[in-house]
């Protein structure tokens, strides 16, 4: 990551692929469009930062990526689903708001058109239901209680990879028709890569979940408890996949006749996941 400075008190970094996209736009004589896109992207990420601050959360950094950005929070899994949804959608909301302000205001000319298009593109692209886009983050939060965070993450990672491959295929089809658009190839490859990177963070997310709930317990004095009955030989990875935000989990281990043979708390589950142990650890 390339450090760029600070935005609303949050460190701002640039992914190494971002200069490639900038070079492609400059190569096509789109310097003004590039400046307007950078302005729109900064406002989009500022929307995330302000929403997180309103929820009492802090960003570790904001990373500028091709065709969007990723806001890395210190305690993502300490958030309630509604809070995570609001923070995820705050960026597209900010982009749409500036679209409306630009369209309704007195700012005219090519720069205004580029600024409006940049905001509209950021909003529409980021609302797609795929990770790491904002729409995917919001839907993952909405489905976490039902599927577990790990399963929800894997679902929207697959959607992100499929969308990236589809964009790459569109680039190939356009090139075969005589229209070569390097931005399609860059966007498709990046989206598939970024989606797969989201999957790699699941182990770290398990540890973050435990620390986040401990912080909430210290802050509020209590946590809701969720009991789940599981097979006594179920691998810990499957149990960890059922963890949801803001809830303390206890697992009842049962045999084939549904008789109780032991219990396990989420701390033991996470320890087993991180140490690659398979036993039930009763």
Q: CA 154 to CA 257: how far, in whole Å?
A: 31
Question: Has 268 been annotated as catalytic?
Answer: no
Instruction: Write out the DSSP string of 140-175.
Output: HHHHHHHH-HHHHHHHHHHHHHHHHHHHHHHHHHHH
Structure-token match 């549904």, residue found? 258
From the list 87, 78, 65, 91, the residue with the least C-alpha distance to 12 is 65
Q: What is the 3-state secondary structure (H, E, C) of 53-114?
A: HHCCCCEEEEEEECCEEEEEECCHHHCCHHHHHHHHHHHHHHHHHHHHHHHHCCCCCHHHHH
Which tokens hold the place of 282? Answer: 């009763």
Q: Which one of 45, 63, 83, 84 is the catalytic residue?
A: 45
Residue of 96, 42, 32 whose CA lies nearest to 68: 42
How do strand 68-73 and strand 225-231 relate by DSSP bridges? unpaired
Contact (CB, 8 A) for 18 and 64: yes
Instruction: Give me the active site residues, please.
Output: 45
């Amino acid at each position: 990551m390339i450090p760029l400075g600070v935005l609303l008190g949050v460190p701002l970094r640039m992914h190494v692929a971002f200069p490639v996209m900038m070079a492609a736009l400059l190569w096509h004589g789109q310097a003004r469009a590039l400046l307007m896109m950078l302005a729109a992207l900064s406002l989009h990420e500022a929307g995330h930062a302000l929403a997180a601050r309103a929820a009492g959360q802090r960003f570790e950094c904001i990373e500028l990526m091709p065709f969007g950005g990723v806001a890395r929070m210190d305690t993502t899994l300490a958030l309630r689903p509604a809070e995570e949804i609001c923070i995820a959608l705050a960026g597209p909301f900010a982009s749409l708001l500036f679209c409306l302000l630009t369209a309704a205001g007195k700012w005219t000319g090519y720069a205004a058109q580029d600024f409006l298009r940049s905001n509209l593109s950021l909003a529409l692209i980021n609302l797609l239901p795929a990770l790491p886009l904002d729409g995917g983050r919001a839907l993952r939060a909405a489905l976490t209680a039902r599927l577990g965070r790990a399963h929800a993450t894997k679902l929207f990672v697959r959607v992100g990879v499929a969308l990236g491959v589809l964009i790459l295929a569109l680039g190939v089809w356009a090139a075969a028709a005589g229209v070569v658009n390097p931005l399609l190839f860059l966007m498709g490859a990046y989206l598939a890569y970024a989606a797969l990177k989201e999957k790699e963070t699941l182990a770290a997310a398990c540890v973050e979940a435990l620390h986040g709930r401990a912080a909430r317990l210290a802050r509020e004095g209590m946590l809701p408890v969720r009991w789940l009955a599981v097979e006594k030989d179920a691998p810990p990875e499957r149990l960890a996949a059922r963890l949801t935000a803001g809830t303390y989990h206890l697992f009842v281990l049962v045999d084939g006749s549904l008789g109780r043979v032991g219990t396990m708390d989420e701390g033991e589950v996470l320890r087993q996941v991180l140490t690659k142990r398979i036993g039930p650890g009763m």
